Amino acid sequence: DSGVTQTPKHLITATGQRVTLRCSPRSGDLSVYWYQQSLDQGLQFLIQYYNGEERAKGNILERFSAQQFPDLHSELNLSSLELGDSALYFCASSPGQGSNQPQHFGDGTRLSIL
Amino acid sequence: GESVGLHLPTLSVQEGDNSIINCAYSNSASDYFIWYKQESGKGPQFIIDIRSNMDKRQGQRVTVLLNKTVKHLSLQIAATQPGDSAVYFCAENRPRLIFGQGTTLQVKP
């Protein structure tokens, strides 16, 4: 158990809809990262928050947004969903904002767009 | 551009043998590397990390070797067990994790 909690585990919805994925980091970790994993693209970094502020942005679409709340949990919002958004979405956390430390992953949310 | 690649998509080993999973990276400025294990239905699980000022680091049954001259990273698993069956990713952390495509390790009984 990594200590990172993601909900829901599975989500099925239709094109054009909006969903929210939730992540609780490990106790004491201030950074939260979001990743997308698909069969053809592998694990892709989306965005990082540190102590409530955005720290780094990767290949995140404009239809996607995220935030980190004062209690350090984070939410990833996906809107105007398309079939190609079907993927596993992972959250990871680490103590600091820097690069030279392990990130610990949750077990992901599997998003299926019908 | 930056990329992290693994040499083989699948590695099949006999239970009890040692496994070696390889990874090549392209950015010579990378100073930190991580190996992850991902089992079916689970998120990536941290195995071991290494900084660029080291050549070797050992954990429990695992060893990571870093060859900066040829930009190569390897993960050695001693006495491979059925529970080691998973997909293994190397990742370069600068500051976001850049993952390779993964090597599937299959352990034959």
**Alpha carbon distance B62, A88 (integer Å):** 28
Give the residue from chain A lying closest to B43, CA to CA.
A107
Q: Do A42 and B41 touch (CB under 8 A)?
A: no
Indicate the pLDDT class of residue B95, thresholds 50, 70 and 90. Answer: low
3-state SS of chain A is CCCCEEECCEEEECCCCCEEEEEECCCCCCEEEEEEEECCCEEEEEEEEECCEEEEECCCCCCEEEEECCCCCEEEEECCCCHHHCEEEEEEEECCCCCCCCCEECCCEEEEEC
pLDDT tens-digit profile of A7-55? 999 999 999 999 999 999 999 999 999 999 997 778 999 999 999 999 9
pLDDT tens-digit profile of B35-55? 999 999 999 999 999 999 999
The terminus-to-terminus CA distance of chain A in angstroms comes to 31
Closest CA to B32 of A97, A31, A100: A100
pLDDT tens-digit profile of A52-72? 999 999 989 999 999 999 999
pLDDT at B8: 75
Checking if the pLDDT of B1 tops 60, the result is: no
Contacts (Cβ under 8 Å, ≥6 apart) of B6:
B21, B22, B23, B24, B88, B89, B90, B100, B101, B102, B103
pLDDT at B97: 82
Checking if the pLDDT of B2 tops 70, the result is: no
**Alpha carbon distance A36, A50 (integer Å):** 19
Chosen from B97, B98, B103 to mutate, greatest number of chain A CBs within 10 A: B97
pLDDT at A100: 84
- CB-nearest to B93 from A58, A100, A108 is A100
CA of A40, closest CA in chain B: separation in Å? 9
Task: Using a pLDDT cut of 70, give the percent of chain B over it.
Answer: 92
Q: Do B93 and A42 touch (CB under 8 A)?
A: no
Q: Strand B72-77's sheet: what is its strand order?
A: B4-6, B19-25, B72-77, B62-67, B56-58
Q: Do A4 and B101 touch (CB under 8 A)?
A: no
Q: Stretch B61-86: mean pLDDT, rounded?
A: 96
Checking if the pLDDT of B3 tops 50, the result is: no
Q: Stretch B66-86: mean pLDDT, rounded?
A: 96
Tell me if B67 sits within 8 A of B20, measured CB to CB.
Answer: no
